[in-house]
Structure 1
Amino acid sequence: MKNRLIQKHFYLFFLLAIIIVSCKQNHRPDVSNIAIDVKIERFDNDLLAGKGKNVAQTDASLQKKYGFFYDDYIHKMVGTPEYSNAEIINTLYNDPAYTDLMKEVQSIYPNLKLQEEGLTETFKYIKYYYPNIKVPRFISFVSGFSYPTPIGEGYLGIGLDTFLGKDSKFYRGIVESVPLYLSRRFTPDNIVPRVAETFAHEELFPEPDENRTLLSKMIFQGKILYFMDEVLPESVSDSTKIGYTSNQLGWVQNFESDIWAYFLENNSLYETDYQKIQVYLSDGPFTPGLGENRESAPKLGVWTGWQIVRKYMKEHPNVSLQQLMKDNDAQKILNESKYKPKRK
């Protein structure tokens, strides 16, 4: 009898575990039939392959293959209109720093299969929610740490030199222009979320001009992150989505109620002074005035907006992602979210 009881309890536990896993797996729509197969075109390799060859032919070949991207790369990313294409290409080929950087890029990215798989999954979800979007050409390149994910006419670029890994020797040499709190996120696992974030901001959801208050900007940024929740691979962590370290994520989770109380006590939600509200929206190593020993996380307004939007969607399970993203009534979203984080 005892063995049967144990077996019965084990069976029920096993069934419950299957149900929980199934619920998690079924949270997202089925996108298996959406015909998207992302391939990242290796402009970086094509440009390097022209070294030692006829520059005019290389220029013509790259112009034909990459069109608008090539023009932007030559005259905006690595050069200026004052110089000819040939002059700019020759300058790159004769620059030892460019050669060293390309060797590093090729060693870390002999292929981009993992990134292609992640972008394929992400853009299948985006296409599911927004069937009329046009998936851009994805083009990898190297420009000297200046452009992580530029977007242009028909393309979205991926600057591989800005995703070499946080301990890359190159980042230690450019700390004056790219501080360590930024370069620590220059990792391969940031490519897919940063591409999704750029596409969301630039192509799908440009910020409304009327967003002037801190609250409206918090909710807007929170909706972008919620959108990323819904379209990125589920393996992408919250810390990667928002760009936090694990310690910073732990800090905002532990002090969520204190952060919210700080905003309320200081009447910050309806502040419109750009300089004052940027403190809570822009990146940095920490947020001045909060936390001890500079341990606070940056972008506290963005984080809080994200939690408000998550709570709003939890309270309104019948609201679709498309309806959420179209709704620019920040006050309504706050009110109906019933957001009141409890002190831990």
Structure 2
Amino acid sequence: MLIFLISCQKETKKDIDTSGIQVQYSIDRFEQLFYGYKGTNLQGLKEKYSLMFPANTPDSIWLAKVNDKDEKELFGETEKRYKDFSQVENDLTNLFKHIKYYHPKFEAPDVITVLSNIDYAYRVVYEGLLLFISIDVYLGEDHPFYADYPDYIKINNKQERIAVDVANKIIDTQVRPSLNRSFLGKMIAAGKKLYLLDLYIPLESDELKIGYSKEKLNWAKDNEEQIWRYFIEKDLLYSTDTKLNKRFLEEAPFSKFYLGEDVNSPGRIGQWIGWQIVRSFMDNNDVSLQTLLKMNEDEIFQKSNYKPKK
């Protein structure tokens, strides 16, 4: 019973009451204004959204774009999916409230939705006061538009990932770049950012936070001890070999242990291990979030008492 109560306390520490927190921001559906009016309101849009219209681009380019067959089809599909944007707005409001709880000076950015011709490298752009969301990247992982995309990319092309991607962009501005060049340091630096997702979107699943399928996440959990042993036996923890980034930290269909099991693993497994180390540190140390963010990675590891699950 005691173990159960301690476990519950650790979980409820993250499940905070944000009902009294107020955030103010606007949502502008730029793609609806641009494509929906077929260019009849172009001058007004150029005045209101000057950032969206490079200075020396003639109106003929914008009119051709708004009347392009493929562009109209893309807009039509986003309208089917996001004509009602209320659920996304609820998710963003909940996210912004949680961020403000931990960072009282945080100001929610105004949101502008756009189409990016499915440029998944720029799903979300955060500029402090403004947040741009390319909603054509979130039509659902099974949408025909994404048929040629690799599974590890299109699994995150769904509505539920919008708040996660927004959170990640904001987190990038809150966590200082690490000067620790060791593989262990890079893992824990990534783990700090993933731990912030635990706080900012506490009710979301781990697979959604890190962008894994359920099967890939289960593989990581089932093989946590073997992964850690591999890193130790290969003397990788304090290695500064940048090749380890592509093998274990960067976006990829799977991680590269150079073993037959590799194809069953998720990419970025080093990030996932770093996440578990930071979670262990926070479970075993009574420190504030601000303290965690300022601490160096070696100290976090030393005080984490991390023991991979068998």
TM-score > 0.5, shorter chain as reference: yes
Equivalent residues of 2:23, 2:107 under 8 A apart: no
Distance 1:309 1:20, change over 3 A: closer
Q: Secondary structure at the match of 2:160?
A: helix
What does 1:81-160 align with in structure 2 at a 5 Å threshold?
A: 84-146=57-119, 147-152=122-127, 154-160=129-135
- Name the amino acid aligned to 1:312: F
TM-fit CA distance, 1:290: 4.3
TM-fit CA distance, 1:310: 0.2
Q: Deviations over 1:266-287 (max 9, x none)?
A: 1111222222333110111111
Equivalent residues of 1:118, 1:233 under 8 A apart: no
Distance 1:66 1:34, change over 3 A: farther
Distance 1:21 1:163 in 2: 34
Q: Look up the match of 1:192.
A: 163
Equivalent residues of 2:248, 2:270 under 8 A apart: yes
TM-score, normalization: structure 2? 0.90
Q: Secondary structure at the match of 1:41?
A: strand
- Are 1:323 and 2:268 matched, yes or no? no
Q: Look up the match of 1:333.
A: 300
- Are 1:221 and 2:190 matched, yes or no? yes
TM-fit CA distance, 1:322: 1.5
Q: Look up the match of 1:242.
A: 210
TM-fit CA distance, 1:332: 1.1
Equivalent residues of 1:122, 1:233 under 8 A apart: no
TM-fit CA distance, 1:308: 0.1
- Are 1:297 and 2:270 matched, yes or no? no
Distance 1:26 1:299, change over 3 A: closer
Q: Look up the match of 2:222.
A: 254
TM-fit CA distance, 1:213: 1.6
What does 1:175-214 align with in structure 2 at a 5 Å threshold?
A: 175=148, 178-201=149-172, 203-208=173-178, 210-214=179-183
TM-fit CA distance, 1:246: 0.5
- Name the amino acid aligned to 1:127: K
Distance 1:251 1:22, change over 3 A: closer
- Name the amino acid aligned to 2:110: R
* One of 252, 258, 270 as aligned partner of 1:284: 252
Distance 1:190 1:140 in 2: 15
Structure 1, gaps ≥5 residues long: 1-12, 76-80
Structure 2, gaps ≥5 residues long: none
Q: Secondary structure at the match of 2:131?
A: strand
- Are 1:41 and 2:53 matched, yes or no? no
Distance 1:134 1:342, change over 3 A: closer
TM-fit CA distance, 1:154: 2.3
Q: Secondary structure at the match of 1:138?
A: strand
TM-score, normalization: structure 1? 0.82
Structure (1 or 2) with the larger CA radius of gyration:
1
Q: Deviations over 1:94-129 (max 9, x none)?
A: 311101010000001112111111111111111111
- CA root-mean-square deviation: 2.4
Distance 1:121 1:153, change over 3 A: closer
What does 1:266-285 align with in structure 2 at a 5 Å threshold?
A: 266-285=234-253
Distance 1:256 1:119, change over 3 A: same
Distance 1:42 1:18, change over 3 A: farther
Distance 1:263 1:150 in 2: 34
- Are 1:312 and 2:299 matched, yes or no? no
Distance 1:292 1:310 in 2: 26
Distance 1:342 1:104, change over 3 A: closer
TM-fit CA distance, 1:321: 1.2
TM-fit CA distance, 1:88: 3.0
- Name the amino acid aligned to 2:284: E
Distance 1:224 1:85, change over 3 A: farther
Equivalent residues of 1:225, 1:306 under 8 A apart: yes
Distance 1:298 1:238, change over 3 A: same
Q: Secondary structure at the match of 2:112?
A: strand
Distance 1:31 1:275, change over 3 A: same
- Name the amino acid aligned to 1:163: Y
Q: Secondary structure at the match of 1:197?
A: helix
Q: Look up the match of 1:3.
A: none
Equivalent residues of 1:40, 1:112 under 8 A apart: no
Distance 2:25 2:244 in 1: 41
- Name the amino acid aligned to 1:156: L
Equivalent residues of 2:95, 2:200 under 8 A apart: yes
Distance 1:237 1:200 in 2: 18
